[in-house]
Amino acid sequence: MNDAAHDLHAPHFIGIGGAGMSGLAKILAVRGATVSGSDAKESETVRALRELGATVYVGHAAEHLPAGTSSVVVSSAIRADNPELVAAQERGVPVVHRSDALAALMGGRRALAVAGTHGKTTTTSMLAVSLGELGLEPSYAIGGDLDLPGSNAHHGAGEIFVAEADESDRSFHKYAPEVAIVLNVELDHHANYASMEEIYESFETFVGRIVPGGTLVVSADHEGARELTRRVAGREGLNVVTVGAAEDADVRVLSVAARGMTSEVTVELGGEQLAFTVSVPGRHYAHNAVAALAAGVALGVPADGLAKALGAYTGVKRRLQLKGEARGVQVIDSYAHHPTEMAADLEAIREAAGEARVLVVFQPHLFSRTQQLAEEMGRALALADGSVVLDIYPAREDPIPGVTAELIIDAARRAGADVRAEHEFAAAPAVLAALARPGDLVLTMGAGDVTNLGPEILAALADVAPAV
Q: What is the amino acid identity at position 358?
A: V
CA–CA separation, 414 and 400 (whole Å) = 23
CA–CA separation, 196 and 155 (whole Å) = 36
Report DSSP state, residue 244: E
**164 assigned to active site:** yes
CA distances from 368 to 379, 393, 399 (A): 18, 11, 9
**137 assigned to active site:** no
Report DSSP state, residue 17: T
Considering the candidates 34, 45, 117, 121, report the single residue annotated as catalytic.
121
Considering the candidates 120, 174, 317, 323, report the single residue annotated as catalytic.
120
User: Do 296 and 124 form a contact (C-beta atoms < 8 A)?
Assistant: no
CA–CA separation, 249 and 251 (whole Å) = 5
Residues 180, 226, 290, 442, CA torsion sign = positive
Considering the candidates 45, 124, 164, 341, report the single residue annotated as catalytic.
164
* Chain centroid to CA 328: 29
**What count of Cα atoms within 13 Å lies in the side-chain half-sphere of residue 132?**
18
Burial environment of residue 165 by CB neighbours within 10 A (0 to 12, 13 to 18, 19 or more): buried
Residue environment code for 213-241, b if the CB has 16+ CB neighbours within 10 A, otherwise e? ebbbbbbbbbebbbebbeebeeeeebebb
Q: Provide CB contacts within 8 A for 370, sequence distance 6+.
A: 364, 377, 392, 403, 404, 405, 407, 408
User: Do 385 and 359 form a contact (C-beta atoms < 8 A)?
Assistant: yes
| Cα torsion through 288, 292, 295, 300, rounded to 10 | -160
**370 assigned to active site:** no
| Residues marked as catalytic | 120-121, 164
